[in-house]
Structure 1
Amino acid sequence: MSTTAMLELRSGVRVGVLQEGKVGAPAVVCLPGWGGSQYLFRHNVPALANAGFRAIAVDLKGHGESDKPLGTEDYTMNAMVEHVFEVLDVLGLEKTSLVGQSMAGPIAAQVCLAAQHRVEKLVLLAPVGYGRVLPVSVARVLAPLSMSRALPVLARRLLFKLVVKSMYGELVTPSERDIDEYFAPSRDPDFVRALHRLIHHFDWSSFDDGRLRALRVPLLVIRGDSDPIVPLAVLSRFHHEVPHSRFVRIPRAGHLVSEEAPELVNRAIVEFLSAPTIPIPQN
């Protein structure tokens, strides 16, 4: 049975957390991407718990039920990485596997690089991080969010619905409840400001410097073949820089692959996390 809670970090920021599974089981912490919340992992947390893991989905600061500090310094890469460490500490996790979606992909990877002894395995879902793939897509999302005074709520919701649908592939379409869940935070001006600060102060191309070559934990990358945000060429970059990485491509899925093809994604993640960990030699 899942439980939700608000946890206060040592910085004073409060975060929303969804947990399911036994406290002593191997932990898996799921981090949603830009604009997302723990709702993104609604199909994944129960499956991970049923497979014997302690599954945890977190609303990163600025998102979902979590606090939304407004300082520009709160949304740099370093600040977001430190934020995740605070979350792991308050959860009492000395070691965990991480699942990072989209923007949370490079955050999770940087957490791993900063403290590889604390990360068992790393899963990246449609990760950004190579090149600046964001501007056009982000502009499409921010347009309806920024029109709070120019358009009535229903009109903005309609625009937002079109944007969310454009992130999907050909497998499914978002339900009206899905649209409501994703649109609801946009009525909070602090949420919109947080997204703006991430756009301007987060390092969206953090992988370009080759830092992933230092990764020494098992890595699984999952991408939908119809992802409009992350180009297919990203997979070859991962393979070149992280030879021990594994890849799963989901036919006809888009950027929100974990909710478009949950059964396939869950199977891939559970198999990956359940497999014996083989030591990865240093270069």
Structure 2
Amino acid sequence: MPSLRRTAVAEARLKPGRAAERLGLSVRQVERLVMRYRDEGAAGLVSRRRGTRSNHQLPQAVLDRALGLIHERYADFGPTLACEKLHECRGLVLSKETVRHLMTDAGVWVPRKQRPPKVYQPRARRACVGELVQIDGSDHRWFDDRAPACTLLGYVDDATRRLMTLHFTGSESTFSYFEATRAYLEHFGKPVALYSDRASVFRGTRAATTGNGVTQFGRAMYELNVDTWCANSSPAKGRVERANLTLQDRFVKELRLRKIDTKEAANAYAPHFIADFYGRFGKEPRSI
């Protein structure tokens, strides 16, 4: 359609001012195009910049260096995290989209649109901070091969998606949850309710036969007037489950870059990671 309008101007069937308005160009530019059309025909309407290098294109050496570092050190990073680390650790200032295109073209990253769709049942966030805190433990090789696998206990606020407490421990046990819950209470006070899975820490193994599913953890929370609820499935407490997946990606790499390989050192670094994580992904509560 634009080329037809330019042709109409050249044949005096459309005034330059009207053509400029429809094409989103200046009248002067339309007059230049008309002159080129009369001299060269339709080929004269092709942009003279076609096939030339963009003024904003990055040097190929910079792109090659970035891609080499991604292959060498950040092959399992997402584009956003890889972009951040290229800037923080290597001084390479690239946009996220540039890194995304580099990784996609090299086959390092698969865009979300090309992945199989995931279906989640939506649930509205709670209104206030502390109204519901989802808790879960994730057994994983948090230190890669530098140390044995261990468990990370995570407390995620439902209203803000904020990581409230992260605590590394040997395994999911009642004592470990007591330690993590004590750290939460000392920093934030009592939550209204804790939402967990149906692990034996939270629900008695003989609840179906005896009718009494209260555990030591449950009794302790009862004394503190904190409700404890057990989810029937993992998707029911999806916020903490998705947080675990994100932590298994970002947190593992942060620990690797900082050469942290002990639970004690990781617990000392956790508050700094939580603050940065909330600044990037946290949400404001709907109510105070």
Query: When the two structures are superposed, what TM-score results if normalisation uses the length of structure 1?
Result: 0.27
Bigger relative contact order (CA 8 A; separation at least 6):
1
Larger Rg: 2
Query: When the two structures are superposed, what TM-score results if normalisation uses the length of structure 2?
Result: 0.26
When you count helix as a share of all residues, which structure comes out higher?
A: 2
When you count strand as a share of all residues, which structure comes out higher?
A: 1
